[in-house]
Amino acid sequence: MTQSVLVLGGGIIGLSCAFEAARRGFKVTLAEPGKLGGQASGAAAGMLAPFTENGEQPDSFFRLCLSSLKLYPEWVRAVEECSGLAVEWEQSGSLNVFQHEADVLPAEGRMRWQNDWGARAELVDPAALRKLEPGLSHEAAGAVFIPEESHVYAPKLVDALAAACRRLGVTILEHAGEIGAINVGLANPIRGDRVVICSGAWTTSYEDILGISIPIHPIRGQICSFDSPEGILRHMVFSSQAYWVGKRNGRIVCGASEDVAGYETAVTDKGIGRLTRATDRWLPRLQGIKPAHSWAGLRPATRDGLPLIGPITRDGEWIMAAGHYRNGILLSPVTAHLVADMLEGSLDAKRQAAVAPFAPGRFTSR
Ligand SMILES: Cc1cc2nc3c(=O)[nH]c(=O)nc-3n(C[C@H](O)[C@H](O)[C@H](O)COP(=O)(O)OP(=O)(O)OC[C@H]3O[C@@H](n4cnc5c(N)ncnc54)[C@H](O)[C@@H]3O)c2cc1C
């Protein structure tokens, strides 16, 4: 008999899990209290940058991020084919710029281990950098170019996943209102044989129902975009103060703050001012130009910075996929594959070991 799966949360993680579960033949319902992608996922810059994000060592988190990047070509193909919508996946590569000669040595150390993992990273001197990225300030003492990194337009990926889910017969309950102890598993149609919690920064609302500790908290990310009809950026650019990503609509997205503000999603002058000053400095052609748009989202952060992916009840009926913090867009395909394997009971020993560090049970029960 076809098992039914209830996915709680309609951000990138919930939609990806719903899509993959539906592709594998489950009967899926997704419940979202607000708008699909209306929280962190719709706010994200869409960077798929496992090497830039993980500078220290090839640990289990880096390997998870890298395995997800490798899934992206097939993932994008499947989502676009099923939905008929483009997600604007750009294989732009990235430039990590630095200002001082002293930064070269640590950069070389990073490149050594990252190239063993397929980054194909190269050190770029100032003259070569000017050719690669003419719009960048001449202040740069060099950069590390990583051709393997790419980006998507996160709101479009959300829309395409939602359309693909609908095409596959997923029942989507958008604007479902408050979801919690009262209606999960009891009221029709919000129920399923199996439940996958993908509620981002709001996952703690399930602590009481499940009787477990879920150490997730919101970290606000303030972000803005500049109109740039000339399209002055070819690559994603990272500096120590901000990053910039050029989108097909001629906008340059610049992010992002990391601040503790509870569930507040307003932007502040201080948060956006820091990004504007960094833009003035690194992209001279945008000097003095105010951001056309600014917004903020709540990253779901965990106590140890790692996501929570795995069963949360002994029988495996309830699975959690949350706490993806800064990398939820990057990690969405691998999370969806792992969750679908868990639903099917087809997770092999190697993948079980790979996902073990992210088991939600690593935090003590309440
Ligand atoms: C400014 C910014 C820039 C970012 N840039 C990047 C980037 O470049 N690359 C990258 O990989 N990541 C990036 N991220 C991180 C990424 O956005 C997140 O990791 C990712 O969106 C998390 O997805 P999610 O589906 O878990 O959470 P969300 O998108 O927040 O979705 C959770 C959903 O759960 C719903 N919900 C709330 N309460 C309940 C409930 N009780 N039951 C069910 N559902 C509920 C919410 O309404 C919400 O829609 C960025 C984040 C921010 C804020």
Question: Which of 15, 17, 32, 335, when mutated, tests ligand 1's pocket best, judged by the most ligand atoms within 8 Å of its CB?
Answer: 32
- What is the token pair recorded at 274? 């820091």
Same domain, 19 and 129: no
Q: Tell me which of 174 and 232 has the higher pLDDT.
A: 174
113-to-62, 102, 118, 120, 287 alpha-carbon distances in Å = 12, 19, 9, 11, 37
Residues 263 and 195 in one domain: no
What share of the chain in percent tops pLDDT 90?
84
pLDDT at 185: 46
Q: What's the rounded mean pLDDT across residues 244-254?
A: 95
What CATH code is carried by the domain that includes residue 76?
3.50.50.60
In the reported structure, the alpha carbon of residue 200 is separated from the centroid of ligand 1 by a whole-number distance in angstroms of 5
Pocket lining: 13 vs ligand 1, CB cutoff 6 Å: yes
Choose between 154 and 188: higher pLDDT.
154
3-class DSSP state for residue 132? Answer: helix
Q: At 364, is the pLDDT very low, low, confident or very high (cuts 50, 70, 90)?
A: low
Calculate the average pLDDT of the chain. 93
In the chain, % of residues over pLDDT 70: 96
Domain that holds residue 207: 4-86+153-215+303-362
Q: Say whether both 159 and 274 belong to one domain.
A: no
Instruction: Show which of 285, 302, 319 is a domain's final residue.
Output: 302
Q: Residues 72, 204: one domain?
A: yes
Q: Which residues of 166-198 are buried (b: 16+ CB within 10 A; e: fewer)?
A: eebebbbbeebeebeeeebeeeeebebebbbbb
Q: Is the CB of 333 under 6 A from ligand 1?
A: no
Is residue 232's pLDDT more than 80? no
Task: Give the per-residue pLDDT at 103.
Answer: 87
Same domain, 255 and 221: yes
Same domain, 198 and 234: no
Ligand 1 center–CA 43 separation, angstroms: 8
- Beta strand spans in 86-136 (E): 94-98, 122-124
DSSP secondary structure code for residue 90 in this structure: B
Q: Do 184 and 226 belong to one domain? A: no
My answer on whether 240 and 287 are in the same domain is yes
Number of structural domains the chain divides into: 2
Query: What is the β-pairing status of strands 122-124 and 142-146?
Result: antiparallel
Whether residue 139 is found in the same domain as residue 251? yes
Sign of CA dihedral 35, 41, 43, 46: negative
- Judgement on whether residues 157 and 211 belong to the same structural domain of the protein: yes
Question: What is the pLDDT, as a whole number, of residue 192?
Answer: 77
Q: Is 68 in the pocket of ligand 1 (CB under 6 A)?
A: no
pLDDT digits (tens, 9 = 90+) for 166-210: 999 999 999 988 776 445 544 445 677 899 999 999 999 998 888
**Domain containing 285 — which CATH number?**
3.30.9.10
Q: How many CB atoms lie within 10 A of CB 223?
A: 26
Domain shared by 145 and 234, yes or no: yes
Q: Same domain, yes or no, for 73 and 175?
A: yes
Residue with tokens 């990310």: 221
